[in-house]
Structure 1
Amino acid sequence: MPLVIVAGGVALLLLLMIRFKLNGFISLVLVALVVGIAQGMPGDKVIGSIKAGVGSTLSSLALIMGFGAMLGKLLADCGGAQRIATTLIDIFGKKYLQWAVMLTGFTVGFALFYEVGFVLLLPLVFNIAASARIPLLYVGVPMVAALSVTHGFLPPHPGPTAIASLFHADMGKTLLYGTLLAIPTMILAGPVYAHFLKGIDKPVLEGLYNPKTFTEEEMPGFAVSIATSLVPVILMALRALAEMALPQEYRLLHLAEFFGDPVMATLIAVLIAIFTFGLNLGRTMDEVMGTVSDSIKIIAMMMLITGGGGAFKQVLVDSGVEQYIASQMAGSNLSPILMAWSIAAALRLALGPATVAAIAAGGIVAPLIATTGVSPELMVIAVGSGSVVFSHVNDPGFWLFKKYFNLSIMETIKSWSVLETIISVCGLVGCLLLSTII
C-alpha cells in the first residue's frame, strides 16, 4: 500500500505541474501533504515533517547555492567569462574551435547555472559561427553539452547539490567522480555528436540577443578569471583527496576538511571574487554588492523548489514509506544505480525541468542507499544523469534551445533531445562501471 500511495503522489505531482501548470514548489508541498495524510499521519505531524524537511534541506544548501550564484554573477558581470572564452579560442585556433568552445562551457559551467551560462555564451557562439562560416550547431552543441553535463553531474549546481544533501553524499567525492565521468560524456555529446548535425544550418535571428562586449581594460586577466572561478572546485577536490589519503590524526586533514567544506569553499571564492572581479577592476563596493544582490534573484525560486523536494522526502521518511521501500529492496538483485536512474528519467520525461525531476526522485531513491550499501556519490550522479534524459516539449530548456538556435521542433529533437539523452546514458554507464571498483 505505501508504494501505491507514493505512485499516486507522483501522479498528482504530474497532474498539478503539467495539466494545471502549478508552480513546482507549491506542487511538491501539496503532494507531501496528501501523501502524509494518506499514510495515516496526523495533520500536525505532516506539517511538522514538511517544516523539518524544508529546514534540513536548505540548512547548508541555501548557503552553497547562494554563494555559487554570487560567484557566477560576479564572473559574468565583470567580463571574466568573455576573457576565458576568447583566450581559449585564441589558443586552440580555428581548426579546434569546437574543443575551445566546449572547454569554455565546462570551465564557465562550474560557476554559472545552466540558463545563465547558456545566454552568456550564446553571443560568442553566434560570432564564431558567423566569422568562421560554419554551421551554428557545429559550435553550439559542444558549448551546450558542456553546460548540461556540469548542470546534471556536478555540485554546486542545484540538482546535484540538493541530491547530495538528501543522500548524505560527500560533495568532494561527488565532484571528483562527476568530473571523471563528465569529460568523456561531454566529448561524445559535444564535438563527436555535432559532426552528425552538419546538415542543420540555420541563420541567427536578428535582434535575438544584444551582448555586452567588454574591452580589454574592463576584463580581468585569464589566469585570474580561471583561478577565481575554480576555487570551490579545487578546495573541495583537495578535501576529498586528503580524506582518501591521510590518516585521521593528521592536522593537514582537518585543515583540508575545513577549507574544503562546500560552504566554506564557496564563501572563500566569493570573497576572492569581490576583489578580483570587482574592486581590483575599479568597481565600487556599492556596484559589487549590487551584483551580489541581483544574483539571488536567479536562484530564489529554485531554492524553494529544492526545499519542497526536501519536504516530500521527509514526509516519506516520517510516514514509514522509507522503511517499507528499504524492506522491499532487501535481498533484491536489481542495481540500485539503474533503479535510481530509471526513476529520475521517468520523472524527467513526465515533469520536464531536470532539477525538479532530480529532487522529486531523490526522496524516493534515498532508502536504497542504506539498504544496498551503494556509493551515495554515484547515486547522486545516477539521479542527475536520469534527470537530463530526452528533454522535450514540457521542458523550458527545449524551447530555449529551439528559440536561440532558430530550429524547428523536429530539428530540436534531433539535436537537443538526442544530445541530452547521450549525456544521460553515458552518465548511467559510467556510474555502473565505477560501481564495480568503488
Structure 2
Amino acid sequence: MPLIIIAIGVALLLILMLPLRVNGFIALILVALSVGVMEGMPVMDVVKSIKNGVGGTLGSLALIMGFGAMLGKLLADCGGAQRIATTLIETFGDKKIQWAVTLTGFIVGFALFYEVGFVLLLPLVLTIAATLRISPLYIGIPMAAALSVTHGFLPPHPGPTAIAEIFKADMGRTLLYGTIIGIPTVILAGPVLARLPFIRVINHPIEEGLYNSKKFTDEQMPSFAVSVFTALIPVILMSIRAVCDMTLDKGHVVLPYVEFLGDPVIATLISVLVAVFTFGLLRGRTMTEVNATLVDSIKIIAMMLLIIGGGGAFKQVLVDSGVKVYIEQMMHSSNISPIIMAWLIAALLRLALGSATVAALTAGGIVFPLIASTGVSPELMVIATGAGSVVFSHVNDPGFWLFKEYFNLSITETMKSWSLLETIISVCGLAGCLVINMFI
C-alpha cells in the first residue's frame, strides 16, 4: 500500500506540473501534504514534517548555493569567464577548438549554473563558428556537454548538492567520484558526438543579434591564472579534504584543519571572499558595486532554493509516515542494484516531469532508505540519481527549448543533438557509478 500511495503522489505531481502548470515548489508541498494524509498521518503531524523537511534540507544547502551563486556572478561580471575561454582557445588553436571549448565549459561550469553558463559562453561559441566557418553545433555540443555534466554530477551545483544532503553523502568524495566519471562522459557526449556525420550536417545560420553580449577589453579582465584559481577554490579545497579522508589515519593531526577548510560551506565562503578582491576590488570596482553583484546573484537561485526545500519536505513525510521502513524491508528481498534503481526512478520522473531538479529530488526522497539497508556508497547514489535526472531531455524541459532556439534547430534536430547528448551523459553516469562500485 505505501508504494501505491507514492505512485499516486507522483501522478499528482505530474498532473500539477504538466497540464495545470503549477509552480514546482507549490506542487511538491501539495504532494507532500497529500501523501502524508493518505499514509494516515494526522494533518498537523504532516505540517510539522513539511516544516522540518524544508528546514533540514535548506540548512547548510542555502549557504552553499548562496555562496556559489555569488562566486559565479562575480566571475561573469568581471570578465573572468571570457578570459578563461579566450585564453584556452588561443592556446589550443583552430584544429583543437573543440577541446578548448570543452575545457572552458568544464572550468566555468564549476562556478556557474547551467543556464547562466550557457548564455554566457554562447556568444563566444557562435563567434568562433562564424569566424572558422564551421557548424555552431560542432563546438556548441562540447560546451553544452561540459556544462551539463558539472550541473548534474558535481557539487556545489544545486541538484547534486541537495541530493547529497538528503543521502548524507560526503561532498568532497561526491565531487571526486563525479569528476572521475565526468571527464570521459564529457568527451563522449561532447567532442565525440559532435563529430558524428548526422550531427555535422546540421548547420543553420544564427539569427542576427541573438548573441550580442558585453565584451570585455583585455585591460578590464583579470588574468587567466587568477580567474581559474578563484573559480576552482571550492573544488580544490573539497578535493583535498576527500583525498585526506581516504588516505590519512583517523587521528592524524592534519585532518581537523583539512575538514574545516574543505567543508562545502567554508570552501565556498573562502572562494567568495577571495573573489571579492580578485574579481571586484582589484579590478577597480567599489565595494558598493561588488555588493550589488552579490545581491543580484541571489535572485538567480531564490526559486530554486524553494523547489529544493519542497523536495526535502516530500522526503521527510516519507520518513515520518513509515514509508522509509517499508522500503528498507522490501529491499532485503530484492536483488536489484540500488544504484540502478535510483537511476531508473530519476529517469522515469525526468521523462515525465521535464525538470531535472524536481526529478532528482523526488527520486532522492523515494530511494534514500536504500542506502542504510544495503550499505551502498551514498556518494555514488548521488551521482546515479543525478545521472538519471538528465536522461533524454525533450519538449517538456525548458533546456530543450533553450538549446533549440539558440542554435536555430528543428525539434527533430534538437532531439538528434541535445536529447542524445543528455542521454549519453545519463547512461555514462550510471555506467561509471557501477564500475566504481566494484572497487570500493
Root mean square deviation of aligned Cα:
0.5
2:335 aligned residue: 333
1:282 aligned residue: 284
Q: Is the aligned partner of 1:25 residue 2:28?
A: no
1:182 aligned residue: 182
SS in 1 for 2:239: helix
CA contact (8 A) 2:167 2:378 kept: yes
Instruction: Spell out, residue by residue over 1:278-321, the C-alpha distance to the aligned partner (whole angstroms, 9 max, x if none).
Output: 00000000000100000000000000000000000000000000
Q: Is the aligned partner of 1:101 residue 2:132?
A: no
2:69 aligned residue: 69
CA–CA distance in 2 between the matches of 1:209 and 1:130? 12
Counterpart AA for 2:66: G
Q: Note the C-alpha offset of 1:332.
A: 1.7
Q: Note the C-alpha offset of 1:210.
A: 2.0
Counterpart AA for 1:396: P
Percentage of matched positions with identical amino acids? 72
Instruction: Spell out, residue by residue over 1:346-393, the C-alpha distance to the aligned partner (whole angstroms, 9 max, x if none).
Output: 000000011111111110010111111100000000000000000000
Instruction: Spell out, residue by residue over 1:124-154, the C-alpha distance to the aligned partner (whole angstroms, 9 max, x if none).
Output: 0001000011111001000000000001100
Q: Note the C-alpha offset of 1:208.
A: 1.2
Q: Is the aligned partner of 1:5 residue 2:16?
A: no
* 1:193-208 to 2 correspondences below 5 Å: 193-196=193-196, 197-208=199-210
Instruction: Spell out, residue by residue over 1:193-244, the C-alpha distance to the aligned partner (whole angstroms, 9 max, x if none).
Output: 0011100001111121221000011000000000000000000000001111
Q: Note the C-alpha offset of 1:331.
A: 3.4
Q: Note the C-alpha offset of 1:245.
A: 1.2
CA–CA distance in 1 between the matches of 2:276 and 2:288? 11
CA contact (8 A) 2:145 2:190 kept: yes
Corresponding pairs, count: 438
* 1:190-229 to 2 correspondences below 5 Å: 190-196=190-196, 197-229=199-231
CA–CA distance in 1 between the matches of 2:213 and 2:355? 26
Q: Note the C-alpha offset of 1:246.
A: 1.2
2:352 aligned residue: 350
Counterpart AA for 1:167: F
1:86 aligned residue: 86
CA–CA distance in 2 between the matches of 1:415 and 1:250? 49
Counterpart AA for 2:53: G
Gaps of 5+ in 1: none
Q: Note the C-alpha offset of 1:333.
A: 1.1
1:261 aligned residue: 263
CA–CA distance in 1 between the matches of 2:297 and 2:253? 36
1:420 aligned residue: 422
Q: Is the aligned partner of 1:304 residue 2:285?
A: no
**TM score, norm. by length of structure 1:** 1.00
SS in 2 for 1:437: coil
SS in 2 for 1:277: helix
CA–CA distance in 1 between the matches of 2:369 and 2:166? 10
SS in 1 for 2:178: helix
SS in 1 for 2:195: helix
CA–CA distance in 2 between the matches of 1:422 and 1:380? 18
SS in 1 for 2:175: helix
Structure 1 stretches (4+) deviating beyond 3 angstroms? none
1:403 aligned residue: 405
**TM score, norm. by length of structure 2:** 0.99
Gaps of 5+ in 2: none
CA–CA distance in 2 between the matches of 1:51 and 1:105? 37
